[in-house]
Chains A and B, each alone.
Chain A
Amino acid sequence: MTSTLDENNKEKMRSVSVDLNNDASLLIDIPDALCERDKVKFTVHTKTTLSSFQKPEFSVPRQHEDFIWLHDTLVETEDYAGLIIPPAPPKPDFESPREKMHKLGEGEATMTKEEYTKMKQELEAEYLAVFKKTVQVHEIFLQRLSSHPILSKDRNFQIFLEYDQDLSVRRKNAKEMFGGFFKNMVKSADEVLISGVKEVDDFFEQEKTFLLDYYSKIKDSTAKAEKMTRSHKNIADDYIHISATLNSISADDSTANKKHLEKLSDLFEKLRKVEGRVASDQELKLTELLRYYMRDIQAAKDLLYRRARALADYENSNKALDKARLKSKDIPQAEEHQQQCLQKFDKLSESGKKELTGFKGRRVVAFRKNLIEMAELEIKHAKNNVTLLQGCIDLLKSN
Chain B
Amino acid sequence: MFPQHRNVVVAQTQTFCVISLESNPQTSSEPASLPAEDISTNSNGPKQDSLFDDDPEDLFAEATEEVSLDSPERDVLLSDGPSPAITPITPPTSVITPCIGHAHDDMFTHSSFDEIEEEEGGDSFDMHISVSDPEKVGDGMNAYMAYKVTTKTSMSLFKRNEFSVKRRFSDFLGLHSKLASKYLHIGYIVPPAPEKSIVGMTKVKVGKEDQSSNEFVEKRRSALERYLMRTVKHPVLLKDPDVLQFLESSDLPRAVSTQALSSAGLLRMVNKAADAVNKMTIKMNESDAWFEEKQQHFENLDVQLRKLHASVESLVCHRKELSVNTAQFAKSAAMLGNSEDHTALSRALSQLAEVEEKIDQLHQDQANADFYLFSELLGDYVRLITAVKGVFDHRMKTWQKWQDSQMLLQKKREAEAKLQFTNKPDKLQQAKDEIKELEGKVQQGERDFEQISKTIRKEVSRFEKERVKDFKTIIIKYLESLVQTQQQLIKYWEAFLPEAKAIS
Residues of A within 8 A of B (CB): 206, 210, 213-214, 217-218, 220-221, 224-225, 227-228, 230-232, 234-235, 238-239, 241-242, 245-246, 248-249, 252, 255-257, 260, 264, 267, 360, 363-364, 367-368, 371-372, 375-376, 378-379, 382-383, 385-386, 389-390, 392-393, 396-397
Contacts and interface: CB of A to CB of B under 8 A. Distances in A.
B311 A217 contact: no
Contacts of A392: 479
Contacts of B468: 255-257, 260
A228 B308 contact: no
Contacts of A260: 468, 471-472, 475
Contacts of B504: 368
Contacts of B311: 238, 241-242, 245
B487 A382 contact: yes
Contacts of A239: 315
B301 A252 contact: yes
A371 B352 contact: yes
A231 B322 contact: yes
Interface in B452-504: 464, 467-468, 471-472, 475-476, 479-480, 482-483, 486-487, 489-490, 493-494, 496-497, 500-501, 503-504
18 contacts: A206-B341, A221-B332, A227-B329, A238-B318, A241-B307, A241-B311, A242-B311, A257-B467, A364-B345, A371-B503, A372-B501, A375-B494, A378-B493, A379-B489, A379-B493, A389-B482, A389-B483, A396-B479
Given A231-B325, A235-B319, A242-B308, A396 B475 contact: yes
Contacts of B312: 238, 242
B339 A220 contact: no
B313 to A, nearest CB: 9
Contact of A228 (B322, B471, B480): B322
A218 B336 contact: yes
Contacts of A214: 336, 339-340
Given A379-B494, A396-B476, A386 B486 contact: yes
Interface string B304-347: 11011001101100110110011011001101100111101100
Interface in B2-61: none
B300 interface: yes
B418 interface: no
B304 A371 contact: no
Interface in B329-387: 329, 332-333, 335-336, 339-342, 344-345, 348-349, 352
Given A231-B326, A379-B494, 17 more contacts: A220-B332, A221-B335, A224-B332, A238-B315, A241-B311, A242-B315, A245-B307, A252-B304, A257-B468, A260-B468, A364-B342, A367-B348, A379-B489, A379-B490, A382-B489, A383-B490, A397-B476
Contact of A255 (B307, B333, B464, B494): B464
Contacts of A389: 479, 482-483, 486
Nearest to A278: B489
Contacts of B424: none
B297 interface: yes
B493 A231 contact: no
B340 A382 contact: no
B489 A378 contact: yes
B245 to A, nearest CB: 35
B497 A376 contact: yes
A197 to B, nearest CB: 22
A221 B329 contact: yes
Interface residues of B, number: 55
A235 to B, nearest CB: 5
Contacts of B475: 260, 264, 396
A376 B498 CA distance: 11
Nearest to B360: A228
A213 B339 CA distance: 7
Contacts of A256: 468
A221 B503 CA distance: 20
Q: Which 8 A-B pairs have the closest CB atoms?
A: A231-B322, A224-B329, A238-B315, A241-B311, A368-B503, A371-B500, A234-B318, A227-B325
B475 to A, nearest CB: 7
Given A249-B301, A264-B475, A368-B345, A382 B486 contact: yes
A33 to B, nearest CB: 31
Contact of A221 (B300, B325, B336): B336
B326 A246 contact: no
Contacts of B476: 393, 396-397
B325 A228 contact: yes
A372 B325 CA distance: 22
Given A238-B311, A245-B304, A386 B322 contact: no
A52 B489 CA distance: 54
Which of A220, A224, A360 has most B Cβ within 10 Å? A224
A364 B295 CA distance: 66
A217 B339 CA distance: 8
A228 B332 contact: no
Given A225-B329, A256-B468, A382 B307 contact: no
